Structure 1
């Protein structure tokens, strides 16, 4: 008898979760153990349920400080990093609406084993779940080379985190508080960001983020 695969679904849209829930459970070999609608709940539910595979959206509320907050790609990435820091053997498959750079490379760097877009066919999701569960890696067709020329690929993980927060319109003081850094350190990272991206203002930074689909317009 084929071993069943337990899954934690993470997406802030109930209808999306319902659709994927039906698709996954109809297969018969996959069981949805739980559903989360923000990054904080995803981390907590992972620790409680210990599913075989986490299917993770990127653009979702953080759920921090008692409120959902705005949906951000940074929240999804941070959820992956928190789960991986707690359990290096965690199996995370990203299922996102975004296929623009730099997210395929960023999520793999964060520890995810696979990346699909929500435009993928239903059977591709099932194939991806089985492959990452078996210890493999799965990237949707065309994503293996995606992002090689992205200006964000030169950024470190910390620089990318700061980039994402600044792109959401957060102030230096807010970024410093959120990342437990001094404002002086954040200013230094922002200067490095501007130099690497060849820009001179936050407005240009936000423009890049919008163009690459990192923040919603």
Structure 2
């Protein structure tokens, strides 16, 4: 029986090593390539044509969401499983909207990763059971914010989250490998979309959406 080929995308070498050990002990699954940035993942996807991509969201460079969008634009049949530290519904909804076929968290049991890969490879979708309670529902008073956040580009969303968490423009530029002026422009655009004048207002909106927690 042909094994399910997997492209593993995560910027932490230790995390990738853990995935390798887990999947190496699983019959029917093999990792055919690894990447630590979204840019490399897009190229490797074209070269290797894996059955499933296991993708982290929080990475330097273009980031996970933009990587997801680019791969799905090139191949609408791509099977991508997001494997992230984020368990908030806004992340799940954005990932699925961008084309992901599944979403699980890094706190999940090892067997959940295996089940998710197998289900997605077989043509299904997989949302971690603990996340199904919050996805895709949201509070009525958050509806306007949710509609607006869904209009943000992947990079705007990354900047929005980091601004809301209190990072300075310089730190965000370093984190995302962007220029200071570029991040400042993103910040201006984000404030305009939310009709917010301060970072504190953005933090309040992010908290209402569940992007950050008190």
TM-score, normalised relative to structure 2: 0.78
Kept after mapping to 2: 8 A contact 1:11/1:36? yes
Paired residues for 1:1-217 under 5 Å: 2-62=1-61, 75-147=63-135, 148-149=137-138, 151=142, 152-155=145-148, 157-159=150-152, 161=154, 162-169=156-163, 174=182, 187=189, 190-194=191-195, 199-206=196-203, 208-209=205-206, 214=211
d(CA) in 1 for partners of 2:82, 2:160: 23
Compare 22-31 and 141-150 and name the one that shifted more. 141-150
d(CA) in 1 for partners of 2:117, 2:157: 31
Gaps of 5+ in 1: 65-74
Task: Give how far 1:163 is off.
Answer: 4.2
TM-score, normalised relative to structure 1: 0.77
Task: Give how far 1:47 is off.
Answer: 1.1
What RMSD in Å do the two structures reach over aligned CA positions? Answer: 3.0
Gaps of 5+ in 2: 164-168, 171-179
Kept after mapping to 2: 8 A contact 1:166/1:175? no
Q: Would you say how many aligned residue pairs link Structure 1 and Structure 2?
A: 194
d(CA) in 1 for partners of 2:138, 2:150: 17
Kept after mapping to 2: 8 A contact 1:58/1:77? yes
